[in-house]
Amino acid sequence: MTPAELSRTVLTTVRRAVDAAELAVEVPEKVVVQRPPRPGCGDYATNVALQLAGPAGRTAREVAEILRRRLAREPGIAGVQIAGAGFLNITLSSRAYDVVVRRVREERERYGYGDGLADERVTVAATDGAVRGTLVAEVANVLLRAAGALPAAPDTPPEPLEVAEPATPADLSATPAELSTGRTAPLTLAALESALGRDAARWALLRPPAEDVPRLDAPARAALLAQREANPLFRVRYAHARTRALLRNAHDLGMPADGEADAADTCTVEEAGPHPAPVDGGGPSPASPGAPSPSHHPAETELLGLIADFPRVVESAARRRGPDRVARHLERLADAFARFHDECGVLPKGDEKPSAVHAARLRLTDAAGIVLADGLHLLGISAPDRI
């Protein structure tokens, strides 16, 4: 279940509560669900009860309890907790995450594409001579198409795009005569690509938010080329390469990621016991009494959530004309994969035999690699299988 699908589920729950006369409010057009600010608060959270409390003439916790009872019965939801003044913390079932992994591996390079902007026709363009603006506009148009927006009609002027342009470093593409006078030629993308290579040059201009001026001085350029953990671009590309290496190693062990899932294999689960019972009466869905959802390792939950969130990030980046949102999400995804890799055994060790858990973790690894590659390709950056 993706965040967009969960948002629709919560919205449907509100509508059903209104139809059943449990709530006397106008049904909102949309409901926002977000990753919680800290671990232990479920997989997603929504403040919809706080939004509806005033119009409903009830306290937020009363509204939250009405919605909690209904949400807990929805397929794909393992439990719902009421927190604070009336926030709903939602924990997805393992099978809901299984669906996300399967969808990523089926759609592959099309995962993240959607139709959220299908009713828009827009093309963005930067002012002439804007080196960074031209590149950001190029990628913003790619994101708009990925989110379903059509190009603007031929007789429609493009939407202007303004971003902070970098200063030209004195040591970049300057002749000895220019250096001696302190004057340099205007920065060009070709000159930056000559110094950094295409991938690092694009990351340098796309990663900062639109209002931030990219740093292109010699130390900053050296940092972009460093193959070390402090370099975000290296971390993202290394994480992708690591996922491909694990798939190759699994193949050598006779563990193909495309093997059929065991009936009891609900994505990746801990074998330490049942899911903790939520507070405020939240428990396993009444549709499955006596069968609580097994808990995920925290590193798995974080990684799964970021994978599921990728389509929403792409649409948000398109709406905001902000490729930096995709870049930052890739950094978070790469860091989450590193934690997952360190804390969860993807492949059997020593004399350990491959299990359903290993197979599920291998599929999760494959899904993470697909999303990392998809995000890099949307930015026009390569995703090598080996580094």
Question: What gap in Å lies between CA 150 and CA 167, rounded to an integer?
Answer: 34
Q: CA triplet 171, 203, 346: central angle to 5 degrees?
A: 135
Question: What gap in Å lies between CA 343 and CA 119, rounded to an integer?
Answer: 44
**In terms of DSSP bridges, do strands 44-46 and 77-83 run parallel, antiparallel, or are they unpaired?**
unpaired
What is the per-residue pLDDT for 36? 80
Q: CA triplet 330, 314, 105: central angle to 5 degrees?
A: 70
Give per-residue pLDDT as tens, 69-91: 999 988 888 889 999 999 999 98
Question: What gap in Å lies between CA 226 and CA 317, rounded to an integer?
Answer: 27
Half-sphere exposure for 65 (CA within 13 Å, toward CB): 7
Amino acid of residue 127: T
Amino acid of residue 349: K
- Helix then strand count (H, E) for the chain reads 13, 5
What is the per-residue pLDDT for 259? 54
Count CB-CB contacts under 10 A for residue 185. 12
Are the C-beta atoms of residues 326 and 378 closer than 8 Å to each other? yes
Are the C-beta atoms of residues 43 and 58 closer than 8 Å to each other? no
Judged by DSSP in three states, 252 sits in: helix
Residues paired with 81 in a beta bridge: 89
Give per-residue pLDDT as tens, 99-156: 889 999 999 999 999 998 999 999 999 988 789 999 999 999 999 999 999 999 999 9
Q: Where are the alpha helices (DSSP H) in 25-174?
A: 48-56, 60-71, 94-107, 131-146
pTM confidence score: 0.77
Question: What gap in Å lies between CA 132 and CA 360, rounded to an integer?
Answer: 42
How far is the first Cα of the chain from the last one, in angstroms, to the nearest whole number?
Answer: 33
343-351: average pLDDT: 88
Contacts of 180 (CB under 8 A, 6+ apart): none
Give per-residue pLDDT as tens, 281-312: 333 333 333 333 445 678 888 898 899 889 98
The answer on pLDDT for 351 being more than 60 is: yes
Question: What gap in Å lies between CA 133 and CA 314, rounded to an integer?
Answer: 19
Question: What gap in Å lies between CA 152 and CA 179, rounded to an integer?
Answer: 44
State which H helix or E strand residue 92 sits in: strand 87-92
pLDDT bin (cut points 50, 70, 90) of residue 275 is very low
Judged by DSSP in three states, 167 sits in: coil
pLDDT above 70 as % of the chain: 86
User: Higher model confidence: residue 363 or residue 37?
Assistant: 363
Tokens of 92: 């997805």
What's the farthest any 2 CA atoms get from each other in the chain?
A: 80
Judged by DSSP in three states, 213 sits in: coil
Of 312, 284, 376, 255, nearest to 95 by C-alpha is 284
Amino acid of residue 285: S
